[in-house]
Amino acid sequence: MTWKSIGIFDSGVGGLTVLRELMQVLPQEDTIYLGDTARVPYGTKSPETVTRYAEEIASFLFRRDIKLLVVACNTASAVALPALKRLLPIPVVGVIEPGARRAVEVTRSGRIGVIGTTGTIRSSAYTRAIKRLKPDAEVLTRACPLFVPLAEEGWTDNQVARLTAETYLKELQLAQVDTLVLGCTHYPLLKPIIGEIMGKEVTLVDSAHETALTVADILSRNSQLRPASEEGNHTNYVTDIPAGFVRIGTRFLGGKLGDVFQVVLDEGEEGL
Ligand code: DGL
């Protein structure tokens, strides 16, 4: 019996934090990861552009015969998920809904903070998802665009990171949120400093683990889980030369990356 892979994509290297959780929850599954490194960042681009990029990647991965697609990028999940669900005849899982669900589970006061890229925050996707689950929740949001380059540079525990985080998080701290959603692939790398600034009483929610559990649940319900005795293979595609992805990716994945290949998305193929 041949088992299909799980497709997963992000604007670049950040989605490897989601892949890491997926590999922990479902070590038996094969994965195909695509990082759109030629066009990163998505967080500063318009919803139209991000949706077009996301559709191109979804078609590319679908042609590689995947059984489920994970949209690891928060910005793409925030603006393109409905379009991707319409496009593909397989389950498409974004990171917003699982993160919102977890935030609603852990909040005690109902005051929830959300941080993300400019695109994610502007879309209000987290606010809508949280309010769907808990209409009386109070959701406070803040875009923290500088966290992305800081995480990629490895500046996660120095004075620059601390000052940047203090400046971004001040309002949320004053508003006394008791839960903070890390609504961007890169923010888990800054978790220690964000936690230090927000204080012990504030629960930090990272969507990646919840997303992996959602994937496991869908595959199990569809009888598409590989036997637990198997060991997954992991292939990575990038749209720019692999060097930067390989260098930074190991830190984001927290382990050794599988093979990395450069690809051209459009391949001259029509539609799916
Ligand atoms: N992956 C993006 C996200 O989670 C962050 C990087 C970018 O802006 O492309 O929103």
Residues of the chain with CATH 3.40.50.1860: 5-95+209-262, 96-207
Q: Is 144 a residue of the active site?
A: no
Please state which CATH number belongs to domain 96-207.
3.40.50.1860
Ligand 1 geometric centre to CA of 116 (Å): 8
Q: Is 73 a residue of the active site?
A: yes
Atom of ligand 1 nearest to the CA of 10: 1
User: Whose CA is closest to 40, among 245, 189, 190, 234?
Assistant: 245
* Residue 85 in tokens: 């669900």
Ligand 1 geometric centre to CA of 155 (Å): 17
The preferred substitution site among 184, 207, 239, 240 for testing ligand 1, maximizing ligand atoms within 8 Å of CB, is 184
Which one of 40, 76, 125, 184 is the catalytic residue?
A: 184
Q: 211 CB under 6 A from ligand 1?
A: no
Q: 73 CB under 6 A from ligand 1?
A: yes
The answer for residues whose C-beta is within 8 angstroms of residue 246's C-beta and 6 or more apart is 257, 260
What is the reported pLDDT for 11? Answer: 98
Which one of 61, 70, 73, 208 is the catalytic residue?
A: 73
> Is residue 4 within 8 Å of 224, Cβ to Cβ?
yes
pLDDT tens by residue, 70-101: 999 999 999 999 999 999 999 999 999 999 99
Q: Rounded to an integer, what is the distance from CA 194 to the centroid of its chain?
A: 18
Phi and psi torsions of 18, nearest 5°: -80, -40
Residue whose CA is at the smallest distance from ligand 1 atom 7? 41
CATH, domain 5-95+209-262, list 3.40.630.10, 3.40.50.300, 3.40.50.1860, 3.40.50.1100: 3.40.50.1860
Distance CA 20, CA 255 (A): 8
Radius of gyration for the alpha carbons in the chain, expressed in angstroms and rounded: 18
Ligand 1 geometric centre to CA of 186 (Å): 7
Q: Output the tens digit of pLDDT for each of the chain's 272 residues.
A: 679 999 999 999 999 999 999 999 999 999 999 999 999 999 999 999 999 999 999 999 999 999 999 999 999 999 999 999 999 999 999 999 999 999 999 999 999 999 999 999 999 999 999 999 999 999 999 999 999 999 999 999 999 999 999 999 999 999 999 999 999 999 999 999 999 999 999 999 999 999 999 999 999 999 999 999 999 999 999 999 999 999 999 999 998 898 999 999 976 555 55
